[in-house]
Each structure stands twice: as C-alpha cells, then as structure tokens.
Amino acid sequence: RWANVDVEVSAGRARSPQVTLATDSVSRWPIVGYGGAVTEGNFLNLREAQINDIVDAYFDPAGLDYNVVRLPIHATANGYVFDNVSDDFELKYFDYNLTGDRTSGKMNMIEKILKKKRDVKILGSVWTPPSWMKLGDHSMDGSDDPCLKRDPRYHEVWAKYLVTWVDAYERLGVPIWAITQQNEPQNYFTQSWGTCIFEPEAQLAFIRDHLGPAMKAANKSTKLFFNDDDKNFLPDVAKLILEDEVAAGFVDGAAVHWYTMDQYAALKDYKEKYLDKYTLISTEATNGDPTTAEYYKTDWDRAMHYAHGTIVDFFHGGST
C-alpha cells in the first residue's frame, strides 16, 4: 500500500557525498534469532502438504529462515496434560511419549522443522499446571492467587514436572533450548484460558527454591527465563530475581511480551542494569486478539506493527 510523504529538501550543495557511521562506541549484544509459535491452532484445518509448505516458508533459508520456536506447554483446547494422576508426587505416571502433543499435531510439526533446520532453538512456555496441583483443584483455565496449593510438595512436583517435560522431549530427539517459568504469571484478569498466577515474590521463591535447584540437579543445559509477561512488569520482577544471589544464579535472563506497547523506560532500565550478564528475549507478539484488530486492520498495518515491535526490542537489548 503506497502513501504520500512530504519531504523537506534544503537548497544548496551537499558539503560531502560521504557519510561515516561510527559503530565502535555502540553497545553490542548477541541476536539469538527470529521465530514463531507452534500451537494446536496451527494444525486444526491443515493437510500434510500444507504443513510441509508452512515449514518451507518459515524455516527454509529461501523463506523466512526462522531459527526459534516457542512451544506452549498445557495451552490446549481439550486440557490434556502429561500426568493427570492426583498427588503423583514421584511422577510415576508421567507420559514420556507426550501423547497429547502427538495427537494435536505439535510433535509432527516440530519433527518436520528439525529435519529442515536441526539447530533450531526451541523455547518451552507453560500456561498452567494440571488441576490437581492448583489451589482448590482449580480448572486449568484461570487461576486463584496463589495458583499452586500451599503444601510445598506441590511446588516441588511442579518444578520436577517441568524438568521432566524437558527430559521427555529430549528422549524423543527434540532438544529444548530454554523454558520460561510461567507464561504471563501476573495475568489476573482471564478465566478463559490456562493461567497460573505468580506474584513477583512467588516467582522469586519458585525459581530460587524449586525450579532452579530441580534443573541443576537434573544437570540440564536448558536455559531458564523469568517474567515472560508484559514489559511493565519487568523492572520490579528483574530487581527481585536478579538481585537475589541464589535465584540469579539459576536464570539466564528475562522474557517480555508487547501488549503494553513499547515501554522504553522498562527496557532501558533492564539494559542498563542487567544486560551485561542476563539476556533479554521477546517471546510473544500477536495481532490476532480483539483489542488490536480494530487498530491494525490490513496486512500492511499488521506488518508495520510487527516491524515496529521488533525494532523497539532490538534497539533496547532484545535478542529475539
């Protein structure tokens, strides 16, 4: 779509036809890559040939050449989990075949992506624990505050469950580059999809006392990111976790979403205080929700929105 743009042109000759860009003084950080999510919704109405075309379009070097995949855990239409036996604290009934992810088509897509690009980085993000771990046996949709039952055994088994999920995928030949502690842990408002509320102090305690030690005990090289929520939450959560000596030793960085718009101050704060040691990644941005649909109505609107969000994150320390 073309648009008219007014440009002011100065009269006279240019003093020099050459422009020198000084980059030595510019801060640098590694770019992990670009990617998208593999969810159940990707496959509901697709034939095998269409899935192959999608993999080529997104992951082939001749296409978009994506190299990062976000893989949701327990964000499902029918609420399947990998261990639905109440109080199975030893996870004796954990489904290492990951049957739900196979029948939903997610595993099929992941395997095709890995055939196309073996070094793709897969990031697991969890939406909710099984109901039997949640306070009051709450539905997987929505969450009480706090989310988990207060008995420490449920915190321990939930951490063990996430590590076991990583192990199960790796046993099936799918390396997991990283996980996040919880998708949108401060999502207080929705009861319509899987959520699990962790106040900032609860995020700190779960990472420091349960998830971090469980990953270390399993000798996993999988990275761990905190926050995985909107940028406005980042300063407070980062201060709590990264200024706690124990918790900071378990995490590799923070993850952010874009739904509170640019939030330059939050990104700048993280970049100045923590980016020298802790990576910043962007894990979620969608134009498909009703709140943005009215503003970004055309393909070009949505493309410019994505481009703007990506540029803002990269300019302020983002790596994905």
Question: pLDDT tens-digit profile of 224-233?
Answer: 999 999 999 9
Distance CA 168, CA 170 (A): 5
Residue type at 41?
G
Q: How far apart, in Å, are the Cα atoms of 93 and each of 83, 89, 96, 197, 210?
A: 6, 10, 9, 26, 21
Distance CA 253, CA 87 (A): 32
Q: β-strands 223-230, 178-180: how paired?
A: parallel
Residue type at 261?
M
The predicted pLDDT at position 21 comes to 62
Q: Is the dihedral of CA 259, 38, 211, 197 positive or negative?
A: positive
pTM, full prediction = 0.90
The predicted pLDDT at position 320 comes to 87
Q: Which are the contacts of 235, defined by CB distance < 8 A and separation ≥ 6?
A: 266, 269, 270
Is the CATH number of domain 35-315 3.30.390.10?
Answer: no
Work out the pLDDT band at 267, boundaries 50, 70, 90: very high
Residue 281: strand pairing partners? 255
> Domain extents for the chain?
35-315
pLDDT at 1 over 50: no
pLDDT in tens, 113-124: 999 999 999 999
289 vs 36, more confident? 36
Percent of the chain's residues with pLDDT above 90:
73
Tally Cβ neighbours within 10 Å of residue 239.
15
pLDDT in tens, 97-114: 999 999 988 999 999 999
Q: Which are the contacts of 252, defined by CB distance < 8 A and separation ≥ 6?
A: 178, 223, 224, 225, 278, 279
pLDDT in tens, 171-219: 999 999 999 999 999 998 888 899 999 999 999 999 999 999 999 999 9
